């Protein structure tokens, strides 16, 4: 079996006047993430990992932030497009492991819904989708509450390979 591995990382600043979306879930918080799309940092990290596994560039190359088609778009919708691209290359997602890095808000209560959303789009059972959350013990931009980061690692399996 041919297996490819990819890693993704993304960061967005927290600002007032935006809704906070993580893993396709609206999180109640006084600030949201700044970005051209819905700025879902977790989904962006996952997309970069998926694209990287097949050396297909990054999300900026596929969904440029100057293109009005992607203004405010759901990152889950973009993830669906990345899945189609991967399937077109003859691969399927095997599993993902991801982590959200934020001092606040506390996102643990929302992780089950994030996993469900991601599994649905990736066509996986939830046991193949890991979403974790951690803090930086008040260190760095995440610890100061200036932004949220996310990392993801994925493995892709060659279909019929």
Per-residue pLDDT of 1-40, as tens digits, reads: 899 999 999 999 999 999 999 999 999 999 999 999 999 9
The three-class DSSP label of residue 63 is coil
Res 161: pLDDT: 66
Domains located in the chain, CATH noted: 3-158 (3.30.1330.50)
Residues within the annotated binding site for a divalent metal cation? Answer: 10, 12, 44
Res 25: pLDDT: 98
Count other C-beta atoms under 10 Å from residue 152's C-beta.
27
Res 141: pLDDT: 87
- Over residues 42-62, the mean pLDDT reads 97
Strands (E), the chain: 3-15, 20-22, 25-27, 32-33, 91-101, 129-134, 147-158
Res 32: pLDDT: 97
Per-residue pLDDT of 101-154, as tens digits, reads: 999 999 999 999 999 999 999 999 999 999 999 999 888 889 898 999 999 999
38-53 burial, b at 16+ Cβ within 10 Å, e below that, comes to: bbbbbbbbbbbbbbbb
Helical packing angle, 41-53 and 111-122, nearest 10°: 30
Res 160: pLDDT: 84
Res 28: pLDDT: 97
Percent of the chain with pLDDT over 90: 89
Whether pLDDT at 72 is above 70: yes
- Alpha-carbon torsion (7, 18, 104, 29), positive or negative: negative
Residues within the annotated binding site? Answer: 10-12, 36-37, 44, 58-60, 63-67, 134-137, 141, 144
- Over residues 66-93, the mean pLDDT reads 95
- Over residues 63-68, the mean pLDDT reads 91
């Amino acid at each position: 079996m041919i297996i490819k591995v990819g890693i993704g990382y993304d960061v967005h600043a927290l600002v007032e006047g935006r809704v906070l979306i993580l893993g396709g879930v609206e999180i109640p918080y006084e600030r949201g993430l700044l970005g051209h799309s819905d700025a879902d940092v977790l989904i962006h990290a996952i997309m970069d990992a998926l694209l990287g596994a097949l050396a297909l560039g990054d999300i900026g190359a596929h969904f440029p932030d100057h293109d009005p088609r992607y203004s405010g778009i759901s990152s889950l919708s973009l993830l669906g497009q990345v899945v189609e691209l991967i399937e077109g290359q003859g691969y399927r997602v095997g599993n993902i492991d991801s982590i959200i890095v934020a001092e606040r808000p506390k996102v643990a209560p929302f992780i089950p819904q994030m996993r469900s959303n991601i599994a649905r789009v990736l066509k996986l059972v939830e046991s193949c989708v890991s979403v974790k959350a951690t803090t930086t013990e008040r260190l760095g931009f995440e610890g100061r509450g200036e932004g949220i980061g996310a990392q993801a690692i994925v493995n892709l399996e060659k279909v019929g390979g």
